Every structure is written in C-alpha cells, then in structure tokens.
Structure 1
Amino acid sequence: MTGFHDPADDPVSAQPAPRPRTHRGPQMYGAVLGHPIGHSKSPAMHSAAYARLGLPYVYTALDTEASGLAALFARVRAERNWFGLSVTMPLKTAVLPLLDALEPVAAALRAVNTVVVDREDPNRQRLVGHNTDVTGIVNALRFAGIGERPTAAVLGGGGTAVSAVAALQRLGAPAADIFVRGSGSAAPATDAGSAVGLSCRLRPWTETAAALADYDVVISTLPPRAADPLADSLPPSSLRGRLLLDVAYDPWPSALAAAWELRGGTIVPGIEMLLYQGVEQVRLFTAGSAHSTPDVINVMCDAIGVPRR
C-alpha cells in the first residue's frame, strides 16, 4: 500500500461566514470517552462549534475504562438520541469489537478516535469508526512549517503512535524510528507502518535522549508527564529547525517541550492537533454542516485558547 489521501488534510478555503442558524428538533448527545478524562478540552471546543451552528447538540466528557465500553455502547444504541463519540486513551483499539463498520483510515490503522452514530436505518443504529487523529497531526505539523521528506521519530507505540506513523507517511517522511521501552508494545505502530507503506525501525528507549537532535520532527505520543525525564537528558546542541509535537497538552508546556524550546527548537502544542482533529469530527458529527467556515473554526479556537487560524 502506497498511502492514502484524506480530503480533510487539505487547507480550509476561505468562505463567507454564515449567520448562526437555529435547528429545531430533539436534543442530541455526544461525549469524549477516556480514562482519565477530566482534563479534556474537547467538550468546550465541540460545544462552541455546535452553538455556532445552532444545533441542539450536548457534548460532555465521560470517564470510561475499557471494561465499561460494552455497556455504554449498548446504551447509545438503545437511547437513539446520540450523534457520536470521541475516543481517547486508552480506548482507541478497545472500541473496535463494538463497532459495525470502519472507514478506510481506521480500518487500515486498526485505531479509532471517532464513532459516528449512523441513524439512516430507523430499525438499527450503526456505529461507524473513524480516525481523525491522522488529520490532526498532519495539519498541526503543516501549520508549523514542516519541510519535505523530514527525518522523523515517534515516542511511544500505542494508539496515537499508530496515527503518528500514518501522518508521517502523508507528510512525505521516508521512514520513522519508534522509541519504546519494550518491543512488544510497538506492534500496533509497526503494523501501521506496513499498512501505509512507511518503513519503521524500533529503537530502545535508552537511546532516546541522545538521538532526538538527529530528527527534523519528533512526535511524542506518550501520556502527560511520561516524557518529562527526557527533558534533563537532551544533548546541549542546538535544536534550531527541529520540530517537536507533544500530543499531551495538559500541563503545558510539558517539561520536554520547555527544554526543546530552550535549545532553540520549535514546539507544536498537542492542543493544535486537538483543534484540527476536532474540526474533522465536527464535520462527521454534523454531516458537513458548514464546519469548515472560518467563524466555526474561530469559535473552536477561542474555546480552547488557540490563536485564530
């Protein structure tokens, strides 16, 4: 497989801003799932978008572990008033057996961060898995000015690392090194490399700090604070021109991001990825209802403290 193109990665074209609309109808529900989930800014971002669109959508955060997924999905099917779910760590692969279908990107990567409730069949609601994390990473790095054919590294091998590998392939990286503590934990990421046609090499975690200055772009997919120990071990050499995307945005800046910037490197906050993948989620949850117009994107930026695009 030589890769795939997702139109959601294309730059958003300027369009006249529509007036806010009021949609009559029953209240619909959505949520972001994960554990822990209290730090998530997704509810603020999504709620701002739906308010701007005039939709009767309520979007919250639900602290959910893998053991509770089956009951929650059964509830979603039974209640028939849900529009979709966002899925974060550690559930991006755990949801797979509970879905009716996967869109091509999610199917290739075997990782889902978005579940759309398809209500076209009045007798049975289908739950369809998507992956918008890839789009989020691609657009965050493009906005930061990533160059052509970047040398690249990924920290961690879990569900978000899968999306990072696919994003690097789309960005033209010739290969990616994946740094993990145990080779077994990187199987999903290396499988993703095979799926999208990107050569991936596993490297031991003990080599991470000394090697990071060798890459044009580093994507940390680790949970909050997990990469902090690397901050004191970075080599003293300049990191000018090197990009670090740390997907963990709370607390921010992370210790690694602060050390990276201190050495002259460019940091890409994980909240930028959250914004771009969220724009695509809104498109999916609303069947394309003016999601890409500047005013909708701007209220999403304002809700999570990101400069307007």
Structure 2
Amino acid sequence: MFGDDGPADILKSSYQYGTSALNQSSRSQPLRTFLFGYPLHNSLAPLLHAKIFEGLSIPWTYSPMETQDASRFIPALKAPDVIGCAVTMPYKVSMMSVVDEVTAEGKIIGAINTVFIRKAHDGSPRYIGTNTDCIGVRESFLQNFPDVLEHSTGKPGLVIGGGGACRSAIYALWKWLGASKIYLVNRIESEVTDMIQSLKTAGFDGELIYVSSVEMAEGLEAPVLVVGTVPDFAPREEGEITARNIITTFLSKERKGYVLEMCYHPKPRTEFFEMAVAAGWKVLYGTEPMIYQGVAQQVLWTELSQENFSLDEVKKVISEKLEKI
C-alpha cells in the first residue's frame, strides 16, 4: 500500500525508536487503543478502526476518550493493556512534550496525531509521537492516481487554509509529491506568516509563497496538486471572499491537475469540491486521507506490513455512514 520512500515505509522506520512492543500472543489478546480529544461526537475514527481490526481478525479495540482534562492522557496511555493511541484536537501540539520522542515529520509539522510503543534496550516501553496525517495526504494522491508523480514533480502545489491540516498537507507535497514550491491561500495573512516561520524553524526548507490577491494568482504558474483544508462555509468576510476568488483563479487556469478536499463533514461533496469538478479537475474525497492515515496508525500499532490491509470494506462502511449523516 505505501511506498518505501523515507518515513512512508513506516513499519521499518519505526524500529529506529526501539524493538517490537509485541510478543507472540499479543495479536490474540484483547489489547486497547483509544482516541484522545474533545469533542469527538462526529469522529469516524472508531468505526474506521473497528472495521480494520475486524478485517485483520485481531481482538483489539479502539475507543473514544472525550475529555477536556489533559492530565488523563499519560495514565490512559501507560495502562498495561494499551498498545498505542490516536490524538486529536485540542491536544495534537501539547502532547508532543509528554511522549518520549517525536518523529521527524511530527517535529516539522509541529503536531502529533499518533503514539506508538517500542521497547528500549532494557525492555521498558518508549512512547513515540508521530504524525500520520501527512501520510494520509500522500497516499490519497498516490493510490488513486498512480502516475501522479509524473505530473506533480517539479511543479507548484497549492494548500488552502492555515491550520494543522494545512501543515500536514504542506509536508506531504514537499517531502514526497515533488512540489517545486507551494502556494498558500488563507483568509488571514498573519496565520500563514506564523505558520511559515514555525515550519522554517522546525527544519522545513521548501519554498512557500503566500498568495494575497487575484492579480498575483493570475501571474503564477498553475499548481498540479491542490489540497483544501478549510470547513465548508460560504465566504462572508472580506478575507474569505478574496481567498475564494484566488482559488477560483487557480482552478480556472488552462492546465488542470488533482484536488484533495480534506473536509468531508457534514457532507463530502463540499462547495469547493463541486467548484473543482466543474472546473475540470480530478477531485478526491476527504475520507481518503482519513482512511490512509488510520491504516498508517494500524501499521505502527499492530506491526503488520501494509499487505495485510484490505480497504474495500473499510471504504464501504465509511461511505455508508456518511450517507446517513
């Protein structure tokens, strides 16, 4: 499923942090994983992981731990039957400081969404924080468009938004998908300025360009890969309207490419999704990166190679769930 380029070969690279946390009987024991965050009532992660465990015939569970009390995290993580966890808002940044180590992608992105366990030389557990959201973005493009690198390498990319998902998308386009530079569009310039500074400080050395006007967008080379990371709200404020006009300008360029719309709730076909389709782009649903980042988490927890995972049933149950919302 995943490539073998750097951290994308996640199982192999995970052993640089220690040896396996499992024994011969671990996959037949009722071990636990959980999701730590608040609020969690709209999360599809429990359904996703339950279906993956079912497909693997492993009696493990994944449960939401919805709380505003950050102090509950370490006791929950270090319970003897816990084999790892997922971390979501508002804890993706704060929990970086409580794990034993953070992977390179987690450090540059500035947030973790996963903790996995490896053993130190003395046999004690080491809790490693990482970010699989970037792998979700990467694999969404690679798995759905196998020849995408032939088109994206050496060409600009575009990321819309200024939050945490934006940083994961930037990392994926820069690290694995060949973007020569990355355009950034957001309603608030200061959010982008702060994000760029944070990325650079953490070791990001790609070229990031804040696109501030339609006129600027008109003069830039068309992006090949576009990732949208903002909620599905119609633009109202001046900054939102300007950002939408810039996006429309990019989508209207003669050369078309590939769009990943990461927003999928409450409906996967967002206004931006429909705009991109109408403009002639190939568009991916936001459930794609959600599924692939979850599989990456499972690889780290179960220590099973990617070939063990079949996603047809997983994608089916997620799609059926969204249709009922």
Q: Which moved more, 1:267-276 or 1:189-198?
A: 189-198
Distance change >3 Å, CA 9–CA 121, structure 1 → 2: closer
Q: Which moved more, 1:37-46 or 1:296-305?
A: 296-305
Does residue 73 of the first structure (1) align with residue 74 of the second (2)? yes
Which residue does 2:287 correspond to in 1?
A: 271
Which residue does 2:22 correspond to in 1?
A: none
Distance change >3 Å, CA 167–CA 241, structure 1 → 2: same
1:244 and 1:254 map into 2 onto residues whose CA distance is 12
- What is the total number of aligned residue pairs between the two structures? 285
Q: Any idea what SS the aligned residue of 1:86 has?
A: strand
Higher helix share: 2
Which among 182, 188, 207 is matched to residue 182 of structure 1?
A: 188
String of CA shifts for 1:144-192, please: whole Å, max 9, x gaps: 4332323211112222222111111121111112223334423335533
Which among 280, 286, 298 is matched to residue 296 of structure 2?
A: 280
Map 1:64-143; keep pairs closer than 5 Å.
64-65=67-68, 68-77=69-78, 79-118=79-118, 125-143=125-143
Which residue does 2:16 correspond to in 1?
A: none
Contact kept, 8 Å, 1:137 with 1:273, in 2: the verdict is yes
String of CA shifts for 1:178-218, please: whole Å, max 9, x gaps: 223334423335533562421112233x6599669942222
- TM-score, normalising length from structure 1? 0.78
Distance change >3 Å, CA 23–CA 128, structure 1 → 2: closer
1:241 and 1:31 map into 2 onto residues whose CA distance is 40
Q: Aligned letter for 1:256?
A: F
Q: Aligned letter for 1:105?
A: E
1:282 and 1:298 map into 2 onto residues whose CA distance is 16
1:91 and 1:172 map into 2 onto residues whose CA distance is 30
Does residue 54 of the first structure (1) align with residue 70 of the second (2)? no
Q: CA RMSD in A?
A: 3.4
Which residue does 2:198 correspond to in 1?
A: 191
String of CA shifts for 1:79-117, please: whole Å, max 9, x gaps: 322122222344321221221211222133322111114
Which among 276, 293, 297 is matched to residue 308 of structure 2?
A: 293
Distance change >3 Å, CA 41–CA 188, structure 1 → 2: same
Q: Which runs of 5+ in 2 are unaligned?
A: 12-24, 321-325
Which residue does 1:14 correspond to in 2?
A: none
Which residue does 1:24 correspond to in 2?
A: 28
Which residue does 1:201 correspond to in 2?
A: 209
Q: Aligned letter for 1:24?
A: S
Q: Any idea what SS the aligned residue of 1:128 has?
A: strand
Q: Which moved more, 1:149-158 or 1:254-263?
A: 149-158
Q: Aligned letter for 1:29?
A: R
Shift of 1:120: 6.5
2:215 and 2:268 map into 1 onto residues whose CA distance is 21
1:54 and 1:176 map into 2 onto residues whose CA distance is 42
Q: Which moved more, 1:116-125 or 1:251-260?
A: 116-125
Contact kept, 8 Å, 2:36 with 2:73, in 1: the verdict is no
Which residue does 1:303 correspond to in 2?
A: 317
Which residue does 2:264 correspond to in 1?
A: 249
Contact kept, 8 Å, 2:263 with 2:286, in 1: the verdict is yes
- TM-score, normalising length from structure 2? 0.74
Distance change >3 Å, CA 157–CA 237, structure 1 → 2: closer
Contact kept, 8 Å, 1:149 with 1:172, in 2: the verdict is yes
Q: Aligned letter for 1:191?
A: S
Contact kept, 8 Å, 1:29 with 1:58, in 2: the verdict is yes
Q: Which moved more, 1:79-88 or 1:160-169?
A: 79-88
Which residue does 2:44 correspond to in 1?
A: 41
Q: Aligned letter for 1:164?
A: A
Q: % of aligned pairs identical?
A: 21
Distance change >3 Å, CA 183–CA 105, structure 1 → 2: same
Distance change >3 Å, CA 85–CA 141, structure 1 → 2: same
Which residue does 1:13 correspond to in 2?
A: none
Q: Which moved more, 1:157-166 or 1:210-219?
A: 210-219
1:43 and 1:9 map into 2 onto residues whose CA distance is 22
Q: Which runs of 5+ in 1 are unaligned?
A: 11-20
Contact kept, 8 Å, 1:112 with 1:129, in 2: the verdict is yes
Q: Any idea what SS the aligned residue of 2:209 has?
A: strand
Contact kept, 8 Å, 2:8 with 2:135, in 1: the verdict is no
Contact kept, 8 Å, 2:56 with 2:308, in 1: the verdict is no
Contact kept, 8 Å, 1:279 with 1:292, in 2: the verdict is no
Q: Aligned letter for 1:71?
A: R
Which residue does 1:219 correspond to in 2?
A: 227
Q: Any idea what SS the aligned residue of 1:292 has?
A: helix
1:72 and 1:62 map into 2 onto residues whose CA distance is 9
1:154 and 1:121 map into 2 onto residues whose CA distance is 42
Contact kept, 8 Å, 2:222 with 2:253, in 1: the verdict is no
Shift of 1:273: 0.8
